[in-house]
Amino acid sequence: MDRRAASVGIDAEGRAVHEAMLYDKLADGEVRCRVCPNLCHIKPGKAGTCRARVNRDGVLVAVVYGRVCSVAADPIEKKPLFHFFPGTTVLSLGTLGCNFACRGCQNWQISQADAVTGVNDLRELPVGNLPVLAEHNGCLGVAWTYNEPTIWLEYVLDGAQVAHEHGLYTVMVTNGYITAEALDVIAPHIDAYRVDVKGFSERLYRDLCRVKDFHAVLAAAERAKSVHGCHVEIVTNVIPTKNDDDETLRAIATWVVEKLGAKTPWHVTRFIPYLELSHLPATPIKTLERAVDIGRQAGLEFVYVGNVPGHSGENTVCPSCHRLVVRRTGYEVEDVALRDGLCDMCGEDLNMRRRMKQPGVNGDNAARGLGR
Ligand SMILES: [Zn+2]
């Protein structure tokens, strides 16, 4: 089946208009979007919560399809992904809008911008150009990042298929707020699914992100791994007074161990004050080190300190023989004792993935980890 998003018309500037996937037409021209658990009911002329999916005369349109506001060749470690094609560069794309409204978003200039009014200032980047752009910039893959990729699902889907056709790996850096239906459309084409887990209660998600169903985030991460074989890494941005208590950190770590496995990397990253949370301090280093201890006590084998360049908590230490296997300094990566994804000294499996998924094969069978 050709799942590529259909072009349904031409706008006033002569550009293609892309009809969205996964929505229902209701009475009186209203539509219901099924891409994320917000399940927005959208009246004609209005946009969903993400401000990137707009009802035009009863047709839901993906207004940011193929229109990017950020394009860069980034180290894969910046996503952060530490156990997926380490040391490689990834073509990174973002646009306007988000299905969350986080009070402390670092990328608020784009995530909370209005795509409807801002779209004409965005650069057009057809999916057919991605392989050449990747090659010219020395990239081995394509990442949808900076803002929430779920809100331009159609572009990610088309782009990921083109990327795979050209031997490029694919990455989503996501808040995980996606319906199972939409995940089942996109995840077969995604190699690495990097999910933020911001807390472990509805109250916290309502407070921080203004969404109600945090279980959907957990379910998406679990499904991406168990059903679709994606390589999954989890990030928790540790925010003083919000999610830095032992109970919350332990709950997240325990969930990762139980549902995603002890070898799943968990990044506990330093919060930098922004927006409505600018009154809070940056996360103390000691708090991050406590989070690492909590993660290890819960049974996680790879817990990393993030946003603190030069901290020893960026390194990979073999969970079996406790020797240094990958040294990282900021985005500099050096193999110390990594061979075929295993510890060179004791043979421990380090869950380092260096190959893309095989079509129709789930993660446990997909080729795992070759060294650099
Ligand atoms: Zn070892």
Contacts of 163 (CB under 8 A, 6+ apart): 130, 131, 134, 141, 142, 169, 170
**% of the chain surpassing 90 pLDDT:** 78
The count of other CB atoms within 10 Å of the CB of residue 9 is 12
Least confident of 9-23, 166-180, 260-274: 9-23
Q: Read off the pTM.
A: 0.93
What spacing in Å lies between the alpha carbon of 230 and ligand 1's midpoint? 25
Task: Report pLDDT digits (tens) over 110-165.
Answer: 887 877 778 888 899 999 999 999 999 999 999 999 999 999 999 999 999 999 99
d(CA 93, CA 91): 7
Regarding predicted confidence, which is higher, 168 or 102? Answer: 168
6 confidence band (pLDDT: 50, 70, 90): low
Whether the bond between 80 and the residue before it is cis, its omega within 30 degrees of 0, is: yes
On average, the pLDDT of the chain sits at 91
Please say if the pLDDT value at position 253 is more than 80: yes
What spacing in Å lies between the alpha carbon of 296 and ligand 1's midpoint? 16
Task: Select from 252, 233, 272 the least CA-distant residue to 80.
Answer: 233
What spacing in Å lies between the alpha carbon of 2 and ligand 1's midpoint? 45
What spacing in Å lies between the alpha carbon of 324 and ligand 1's midpoint? 8
**% of the chain surpassing 70 pLDDT:** 94
Regarding predicted confidence, which is higher, 49 or 367? Answer: 49
281 confidence band (pLDDT: 50, 70, 90): very high
What spacing in Å lies between the alpha carbon of 263 and ligand 1's midpoint? 14
What spacing in Å lies between the alpha carbon of 52 and ligand 1's midpoint? 47
34 confidence band (pLDDT: 50, 70, 90): very high
What spacing in Å lies between the alpha carbon of 322 and ligand 1's midpoint? 6
Task: Report pLDDT digits (tens) over 299-313.
Answer: 999 999 999 999 999
What spacing in Å lies between the alpha carbon of 306 and ligand 1's midpoint? 23
d(CA 244, CA 259): 22
What spacing in Å lies between the alpha carbon of 316 and ligand 1's midpoint? 11
d(CA 174, CA 152): 12
50 confidence band (pLDDT: 50, 70, 90): very high
370 confidence band (pLDDT: 50, 70, 90): very low
What spacing in Å lies between the alpha carbon of 294 and ligand 1's midpoint? 22
What spacing in Å lies between the alpha carbon of 303 and ligand 1's midpoint? 16
* Average pLDDT value for residue range 40-67: 95
Which pair of tokens denotes residue 349?
């499996």
pLDDT of residue 320: 97
What spacing in Å lies between the alpha carbon of 325 and ligand 1's midpoint? 8
What spacing in Å lies between the alpha carbon of 68 and ligand 1's midpoint? 43
Task: Report pLDDT digits (tens) over 188-216.
Answer: 999 999 999 999 999 999 999 999 899 99
pLDDT of residue 7: 63
What spacing in Å lies between the alpha carbon of 321 and ligand 1's midpoint? 4
363 confidence band (pLDDT: 50, 70, 90): very low
Least confident of 58-62, 317-321, 327-331, 368-372: 368-372
Rounded to 10 deg, the angle between the 285-298 and 246-255 helix axes is: 40
What spacing in Å lies between the alpha carbon of 141 and ligand 1's midpoint? 29
pLDDT of residue 361: 45
d(CA 148, CA 111): 7
* Average pLDDT value for residue range 95-122: 83
Neighbours of ion ligand 1 (CB under 5 A): 318, 320-321, 343, 345-346, 348
What spacing in Å lies between the alpha carbon of 323 and ligand 1's midpoint? 6
Per the listing, tokens 């401000």 go with 51
Please say if the pLDDT value at position 2 is more than 50: no
What spacing in Å lies between the alpha carbon of 347 and ligand 1's midpoint? 6
What spacing in Å lies between the alpha carbon of 337 and ligand 1's midpoint? 8
What spacing in Å lies between the alpha carbon of 223 and ligand 1's midpoint? 30
pLDDT of residue 367: 34
pLDDT of residue 362: 45
Task: Report pLDDT digits (tens) over 205-246.
Answer: 999 999 989 999 999 999 999 999 999 999 999 999 999 999
